[in-house]
Amino acid sequence: MHQHRIELSAHSRGAAGERLRYFGFAAAVSLLLLLNLTGVWRTVLGVDTAAILALVAGYRTFYNSIAALFEKRLSADMAISIAVVAALAVGEYLAAAEAMFIMLVGEGLEGYAAGRTSAAIHRFVEQMPRRARLLRGGEELEVDAATLAPGDLILVRAGERIPADGRIELGASSVDESTITGEPLPRDKGPGDEVFSGTLNGRGLLRVRVLRAGEETTLARVIRLVEEARRRKAPVERLADRYARFFLPALLAAAAVTYLVTGNWMRTVAVLIVGCPCALILATPTAMVAAIGGLARRGILVRGGSVLQAAAETDTIVFDKTGTLTEGRFEVVRIVALDRDEESLLRLAAAAERGSEHPLARVIVEEARRRGLAFEEPESARILPGRGAECRLRDRIVRAGSAAYLAENGVPVAPWLLEEADRLGATAVLVADGDRLAGAIL
């Protein structure tokens, strides 16, 4: 995976340099075209500069047309090439140059949109750590993440990204999997749970047995999906080429009829120029590539242009997780106090959670402060990654966390509280005062 990152990075730099040269070329063509239009510089060695610009700017279009002929197929580029050649033949050099300049600008815009998509892919690649801590023979070795293999045992410290897909053998923590699942809330993980490459470990120390490494990891497959989506054309993108076998003969027939009726070559060339499918050739691919790149930057992966096109006809969407519909900002929706008032329960929870960096802990503390509640300074506090937090207030221990954490400490949990959290689509933080359940914050 490390090698893949380097190759993609080098490719991105090369593509950026190529786009820069392309836009420089387009700018030079536009300047020379403007000089020709204003009459400042119209000829080179007796040849009209517009004719030279039409040939130079249209080299790709001419090349694609000739390649299609060798492949015995008709393409939309042929319509443009025929129109430009006809315009050159009748001396309409400026019209020919303008047509090719439009194609040049369109291709440049498509390249720019593709570059933004590549940048989004590059950001995905950067989620992968370069180094890994390999445990071998009782020693901790720092190795290149690309050299990991299934079966290796790795150590992931607090705040580090996990370098490979694997299963936790020892330790517990909250893992931010938003790069893979899109879920903003870190998931509590413990022995036996699977973790994914590129995800961020919380405050726990994990020992992970590698299941998939390098190009086989989940994140690597996600990156490949985005790359494939960028290259795959949608049906609407292929529309111009698909109908070229009908459109091109019809265009030539219309031009022939125009000449037979009018006997005027200028009007015939005008029909060819006006009939060029420039908008269909340029606008659609540019819109598709830009849309896929924009969605990728927002964390939405589209497998290809065909999927994006099908989305326009979608009337029903089924979501399998409530988290994918949230804005990624947490808030307290309900406080359920069992043996005291809501504010007293919130004070207890804030005292226990004040030392935790977990998103839900921060929300609880912020809610207490927003309400202007003063909570006690604990004598001691402890954070248990993946389970919860606890503190000592005078002669008792206050705990806040998951149902499993409270059950481990002999605190009975009311199932209806968890059912209420599910009904609201919320996460329940249960609060215990000593060995009694005090309530829940949803």
Catalytic site residues? 320
Dihedral sign for Cα 268, 273, 274, 277, please. Answer: positive
Whole-angstrom distance, CA of residue 200 vs CA of residue 71: 50
Whole-angstrom distance, CA of residue 194 vs CA of residue 181: 13
Angle between helices 59-70 and 49-57 (to 10 degrees): 50
Whole-angstrom distance, CA of residue 406 vs CA of residue 435: 9
Task: Classify burial at 226, counting beta carbons within 10 Å of its beta carbon; exposed 0-12, middle 13-18, buried 19 or more.
Answer: buried
Using the 8-state DSSP alphabet, how is residue 318 labeled? Answer: -
Whole-angstrom distance, CA of residue 129 vs CA of residue 319: 31
Residues 6+ apart with CB under 8 A from 81: 58, 61, 62, 65
Angle between helices 76-89 and 265-274 (to 10 degrees): 150
324's tokens: 């994918």
Q: Residue 389: helix, strand or coil by DSSP?
A: strand
What DSSP element (H or E) covers 43? Answer: strand 43-44
7's tokens: 């190759």
Whole-angstrom distance, CA of residue 219 vs CA of residue 123: 12
Q: Residue 271: helix, strand or coil by DSSP?
A: helix
Whole-angstrom distance, CA of residue 286 vs CA of residue 205: 46
> What residues does 380 pair with on adjacent strands?
392
Using the 8-state DSSP alphabet, how is residue 383 labeled? Answer: E
Question: Contacts by 294-299 with C-beta closer than 8 Å and gap 24+?
Answer: 294/116, 296/117, 296/120, 296/121, 296/124, 296/226, 297/116, 297/119, 297/120, 297/123, 299/178, 299/182
Site of tokens 């939309």: 76
CA 222 to chain centre: 9
CA 400 to chain centre: 35
